Structure 1
Amino acid sequence: MNSQSLSRGSASIRPFALSLSVAARAALKHQQPCCLWLTGLSGSGKSTLANALEVQLNEQGRHTFVLDGDNLRTGLCNDLGMSDAARKENIRRIGEVARLMVDAGLIVIVSAISPFSADRATAKALFGPGQFFEVYISTPFDVCARRDPKGLYRAALDGRIKAFTGLDSPYEAPLAADCEINTDEVELADAVGHILAALFKK
């Protein structure tokens, strides 16, 4: 049996109908599960903000998990490169894992550059109404390059890294994000508060 016969649309695959509902799992945790999807340039502050969000939610008694793009590339996605096709597959995998975690009743925080709007739209389509909350970390390129926590901007500007997002590979900013944060203008605690206020209002 080849890989094509095992695709999602294959007649040989029939998803099993589980008895326990998403609502039942969520009720046990006393929360409404959802996915907070943080998108933005490398160095924009996504991971720091995702971590702070999870800590705050945990202190409120919420059941959470962070899916960080770099962390996933050391395991689940370590076979992927940085081509457009590989980035698309990277986001597809993250979206599928996030959906499974939401089905389990968790509040999932995704921190991933996710540069292409079509891929983010595909991820959003995996979730039910009100389950997907897009947060655009709009920290400008020059600020991210000045921070350069991993030395990636210097390497890219020196020509040692090709297809670097925001430089020679595009970043397609969200046009209608549920929340927007520029971490160069907003302190971390205030950013967390702003995002959570917008989330709970929605």
Structure 2
Amino acid sequence: MAANVGFTVWFTGLSGAGKSTLSEALQQRLRERGRNLEILDGDVVRTHLSKGLGFSKEDRDTNIKRIAFVCGLLTRNGVACVSAAIAPYREAREWARQEIGNFVEIYVKCPIEVCRQRDVKGLYKLVDEGKLKGFTGVDDPYEEPESPELVIETNQEPVEVSVQRILDKLEELGYLAPEEAQVNESQAVTDRLAALGYL
């Protein structure tokens, strides 16, 4: 099943938990293994695909449904893709799972105190100053996944370890060929070309 099968890795977690960092690291590792990865980052989607949407529950659900629609199209056409959005509500994530099919939910878990310390985008500071309302995990709910395929605790392990665990899970689920199989396949192609006199 692993030969160019499409799948979606669906990262969910608080702002600052490490979703974008993991997405970029996973993209690099997959490229090294001959697979391209399309990333639908929450901020980029908000700018281009969901411009004009607010942060009410209805708007957040609409945003997730739009991401899921795109991921579904890509997945059905053999593309590996990642959604890196907070996706705070279980119901919307379950809708995405049904819509996409080849769906790997990864809970990027990190204590909110650590997310606050990281505060890469300065959003928690705005919340503390009273300039930002309805912020997930502070004054708006985040519903933790009940049975994700994988839980990554970014305050407990380095990015490299987390990404390897994701790759291992993708192999286990049949979405990615084991590395040794890819090496053997590459060698077989080289041997064939040599036998035909091309090398």
TM range (shorter): 0.7 to 0.9
Distance in 1 (alpha carbons) for counterparts of 2:98 and 2:36: 23
Letter of the structure 2 residue corresponding to residue 99 of structure 1: G
CA RMSD of aligned residues (A): 1.3
Letter of the structure 2 residue corresponding to residue 199 of structure 1: L
**Rg: which structure is higher?**
2
In structure 1, the gaps of 5 or more residues are 1-22
Distance in 2 (alpha carbons) for counterparts of 1:109 and 1:200: 16
Q: Deviations over 1:159-192 (max 9, x none)?
A: 1100000000000000101000111111011110
How far did residue 63 of structure 1 move? 2.7
How far did residue 127 of structure 1 move? 2.4
Q: Is the 8 A contact 2:71 2:100 kept in 1?
A: no
Letter of the structure 1 residue corresponding to residue 46 of structure 2: R
Letter of the structure 1 residue corresponding to residue 9 of structure 2: L
Matches within 5 A, 1:25-36: 30-36=3-9
1:134 is aligned, of 102, 105, 117, to: 105
2:139 is aligned, of 160, 165, 168, to: 168
Letter of the structure 1 residue corresponding to residue 158 of structure 2: E
TM-score under structure 1 length normalisation: 0.83
Partner of 1:200: 171
TM-score under structure 2 length normalisation: 0.84
Are residues 1:181 and 2:152 paired?
A: yes
How far did residue 200 of structure 1 move? 1.1
Q: Deviations over 1:99-143 (max 9, x none)?
A: 001112101111010000000000001123xx1000000111110
Are residues 1:190 and 2:161 paired?
A: yes
Partner of 1:143: 114
Aligned residues: 173
Which stretches of structure 1, 4 residues or longer, exceed 2 Å deviation after superposition?
none
Q: Percent identity?
A: 40
2:97 is aligned, of 112, 124, 130, to: 124
Partner of 2:129: 158
How far did residue 79 of structure 1 move? 1.4
Q: Comparing both structures, which one devotes a greater share of its residues to helix?
A: 2
In structure 2, the gaps of 5 or more residues are 174-199
2:67 is aligned, of 94, 107, 114, to: 94
SS of match in other structure, 1:110: strand
